[in-house]
Amino acid sequence: MRISNSELVRANAELERRVAERSAAIEESERQLSLAQLYAGAGTWDWRIDTDRVHWSDSCRDLYGHDPNSTSTCRADWIASLHPADRGMADRAIQDCLTRGGTHLHVLYRITHPDKGLRWLEGRGHVTYDEAGRPLRATGLAIDVTERRLAEEAVRENEGRLAAIFAQAEVGLSEIGLDGRFRRVNDRLCALLGRSRDDLLGLGVQDVTHPDDLARNLPLFASLVEVGDVFSIEKRYLRPDGTHFWAVSSVSRILGAGGEPLGVIAVTVDLTERRDAEDRLRAAHDEAVRARAGAEEANRAKSRFLAAASHDLRQPVTAANLFINLLRRRPLGPAEIALVEPLASSLGNLTGMLNGLLQVARLEAGILSAEPRDFPLDELLQRLFDEFREAARLTGLCLQVPPVRLNVRSDPLLVELILRNLLSNALKYTRAGSVSVLARAGDGHVAVAVTDTGPGIAPGDLERIFEEYYQGADVARDHSRGFGIGLATARRVAALLGTRIEVSSEPGRGSTFSLCLPLGAIPDAASPATVLDTAPDLLAGCSALVIDDEPLVLQAIELMLASWGVRVQVARTLEQVGAVLAGLDHPLDIVVADYSLGHGQCGTDAVAAARRRGAWAAVLLTGDTSPERLAEARRSGCHLLHKPVTAEVLETLLRTVCRERREVSSS
């Protein structure tokens, strides 16, 4: 059969087309293979064992960092391209495979890439043999496994580090499976739980947890496994002997490469010492609470004692002062005067000492507190002037207290206590000359200065004079000058008020003690004070009711008022007050009542009853200087005098009240 030329041409063209398509497919396949090798970090190799020639793909050459234009190499060239430490191992692995007729080659080795440095490669291949069993050819892959090897080494390092931590840790460590059972434990945890490692590895968390703590523990464990919520829990662990101990466990999750939970790690710290310390601390706290309660009760008892002592001690002193005053007002001969004056002086010293001691005791008991308010300074200074002018006159001193129209903001009772102590101290130590009390305002404050012309104070004693019972190195122990508690009390009370007492002195010329107080609201305008009318007929003919549960005080006040021309009725109890008022056939003008009448009765009730019968002047006498009691007394609208009361102070107050009432009546 003859084939025409045209048919041959067509057949040849078809053949060429098919060859071209097949070649293109092969090229595309090789391109795809090269890309796959590139992205997989792999390359192919073909070793003709019989001729010892090795052909590497381009990707394989890239793995080794070889020149892509280099010719095929031999086995020795490949061995030389390996890391020196791995050459012998790799050569032996190949030789062993060929010697025993193995078909699978597998070698893990290192190379030094010219650009990338040390890399790990894994070689895998298939060996074919001829009919006589001689190796002919090996074909396979070289894969870059550097990242995998580094990860494996990191895992091994972590495992080693974890093993070292488990072995050396001073706290309990455990690895726990998702089922809650121990997979690994360290010696410290075994010691804490009193179990061997083998015992613990057969148990779960619930087996060593106190039953009362499981309800808290298990939900936390489940949440950790499911969500990853790390938690810490203080709980009780059980030992085989039935005892338990407190520990805190901090638990976190172990994740696999894909983020899946593999188990948990627990760190367990024994809290026995801390718990014991907390128990001791609680016991100490409870003891402190009991001690504080005892101290508070002791303070309350001290307060009750001070209140009772203040009242009981001041009563006889008040009576003695009044009786001495009555005696001094009588015509006396020189012999009687020689007896009465020292007695009056001693009684005055006793009065000052008693007041000072009681205030010191109140400070020590912590029951003296400040209640600041705005008040006129002049009233306080005038009251002190009235109290001390007779003492100044008897010693030949000029007492100067100029009027001042200033209000200060502080506790008037405590300010009066300080200034009374300063003024009393100045009068006691000044032999001749004068004592003055001056007040000056400036920069939002008022400085009240007590200045004397006494002996002065040595520079080395300017601080020591504020110590209790210190009177100065150059002063003999003269109790007529007090017992040295005035300045100590004054400084401590000043601290309660948030201020301090400043002192300046020049030995031989005198001293100045000053107290700085906040300036109060501007006082209302007032008419100038008139001169106190001391004519005896101011009190003469007035009717008075005196109430005191102390018979001597009651008698002394009754006699004193009677000596001033006052008609006096007396009572010791509220019941007697009612009886006296019911029997009165004339108006009542004045009521003088002790604040504390005993048996729970209060003088303010007696005052209220007297006012209902027309009394227009009310005076409360009290030995209680507590701010609460004084505030209560003053809320009653009464004039307040502190025991021990002197005749001069009582007379001055009553005459002032009478004068003011007369002025109001005549206006």
Q: Cα–Cα distance between 608 and 600 in angstroms, integer?
A: 16
Q: Any idea which fold 41-144 has?
A: Beta-Lactamase (3.30.450)
Tokens of 500: 């301090």
pTM above 0.85, yes or no: no
Specify burial of residue 168 (Cβ count, 10 A radius: 0-12, 13-18, 19+): exposed
Q: Tell me the average pLDDT across 136-164.
A: 86
Q: What is the dihedral of CA 262, 264, 265, 267, to 10 degrees?
A: 180
Most confident among 312-316, 474-478, 505-509 (mean pLDDT) = 505-509
The structural domains of the chain, with segments of one domain joined by +, span 1-40, 41-144, 151-270, 369-529, 536-666
Who contacts 407 (Cβ-Cβ below 8 Å, separation ≥6)?
Answer: 374, 375, 376, 377, 519, 520, 521, 522, 523
Q: Tell me the average pLDDT across 280-309.
A: 78
pLDDT, one tens digit per residue, over 318-358 is 888 888 888 888 888 888 888 888 787 777 767 766 765 66
Look at residue 667 in the predicted model and tell me its pLDDT.
Answer: 61
CATH of domain 369-529: 3.30.565.10
Give the confidence band of 661 by pLDDT, cuts at 50, 70, 90: confident
Cα angle for residues 162, 166, 171 (degrees, 5° grid) = 130
pLDDT, one tens digit per residue, over 170-197 is 888 989 998 999 999 999 999 999 999 9
Look at residue 525 in the predicted model and tell me its pLDDT.
Answer: 47
Look at residue 138 in the predicted model and tell me its pLDDT.
Answer: 93
Best CA proximity match to 41, nearest among 56, 65, 63, 61: 63
| Residue range 151-270 in CATH 3.30.450.20 | yes
pLDDT for 459 beyond 60: yes
% pLDDT > 70, the chain: 82
The β-bridge partners of 119 are: 111
Q: Tell me the average pLDDT across 433-452.
A: 92
Give the confidence band of 625 by pLDDT, cuts at 50, 70, 90: low
Same fold, 41-144 and 151-270: yes
Q: Tell me the average pLDDT across 540-553.
A: 91
Q: Where are the beta strands (DSSP E) in 114-160?
A: 117-129, 135-144
CATH of domain 536-666: 3.40.50.2300
- Tell me the DSSP string of 218-266: HHHHHHHHHH---EEEEEEEE-TTS-EEEEEEEEEEEE-TTS-EEEEEE
The three-state DSSP-derived secondary structure of 254-277 is: EECCCCCEEEEEEEEEECHHHHHH
Give the confidence band of 513 by pLDDT, cuts at 50, 70, 90: very high
pLDDT, one tens digit per residue, over 240-270 is 999 999 999 999 988 887 888 888 989 999 9
Better-scored residue on pLDDT, 69 or 614: 614
Tokens of 551: 């018979």
CA dihedral sign, ordered 470, 361, 555, 551: negative
